[in-house]
């Protein structure tokens, strides 16, 4: 289950803007890394509103890497 399915607030990994899953479109880069709609588009993403899906993924180079706890 992704963070957006839980309905919790998160922030854009690029600009830091708040993202609320219940109202905001966002691109999920990983389990805990998201881009707001504006940053995703700026990074080349293409969203199909009619189909409610991303057609082209954004470039994610330069985003902070997701940190995982050491085992």
Domain ranges of the chain: 3-56
64-68: Cβ within 8 A, 24+ apart:
64/13, 64/33, 66/30, 66/31, 66/32, 66/33
User: The pTM is what?
Assistant: 0.77
Other Cβ atoms closer than 10 A to 53: 8
pLDDT of residue 2: 47
Does pLDDT of 4 surpass 60? no
The pLDDT score that the predictor gives to residue 3 is 44
Q: What is the pLDDT of residue 1?
A: 41
Q: Could you report the per-residue pLDDT of 9-64, keeping only the tens digit for each?
A: 889 999 999 998 678 889 988 877 889 999 999 999 999 999 999 999 999 988 87
């Amino acid at each position: 289950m992704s963070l957006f399915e839980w309905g919790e607030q998160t922030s854009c990994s690029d600009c830091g803007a708040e993202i609320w899953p219940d109202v905001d479109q966002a691109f999920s880069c990983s389990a805990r890394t998201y881009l707001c709609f504006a940053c995703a588009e700026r990074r080349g993403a293409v969203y199909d509103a009619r189909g409610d899906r991303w057609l082209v993924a954004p470039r994610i180079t330069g985003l902070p890497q997701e940190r995982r706890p050491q085992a």
